[in-house]
A = this chain, B = another copy of it.
Amino acid sequence: MNLNHKHLVQEQFDTDTRELAELAKALGHPARIMILRELLLRRVCVCGEIVEVLPLAQSTVSQHLKALKEAGLISGTVEGVKSCYCVNPEALKRLSKLLKPLFDWAENPNCC
């Protein structure tokens, strides 16, 4: 496999496909799902209480937060010494929109 073959391969797909894949990938780990759930549960944007909820080291949680942030699913602001995160509704709406054709089909499948 070439040095950045994967990168070249990814570019062959259209934007929507790549965007959906990226959002889905960000949701593709139980820790990150839990983070989103926790952020939704506590009405206000929370910070490192997430670490206490998850069975993972602080550095690992920080890494997962970064992944969610890079996918646009959450945004974080520095609040003094603490770091506050919240779910980005727009990203979820986008994901919903991208998945809609699949879900619509599932309600009325024409095969199998």
Contacts and interface: CB of A to CB of B under 8 A. Distances in A.
A104 to B, nearest CB: 10
Q: At the interface, is chain A mostly helix, strand, loop or mixed?
A: helix
A12 to B, nearest CB: 4
Given A86-B111, A92-B102, A109-B89, A17 B30 contact: yes
B86 A106 contact: no
Contact of A33 (B20, B26, B43): B20
Number of copies: 2
A37 B94 CA distance: 17
A96 B98 CA distance: 12
Interface of A: 9-10, 12-13, 17-18, 20-22, 24-34, 36-37, 39-40, 43-45, 55-56, 75, 86-90, 92-93, 95-96, 99, 101-103, 105-107, 109-112
Given A13-B31, A20-B27, 15 more contacts: A13-B33, A17-B34, A21-B32, A22-B28, A36-B102, A40-B102, A75-B112, A87-B112, A88-B112, A89-B106, A89-B107, A89-B112, A93-B103, A93-B107, A99-B99
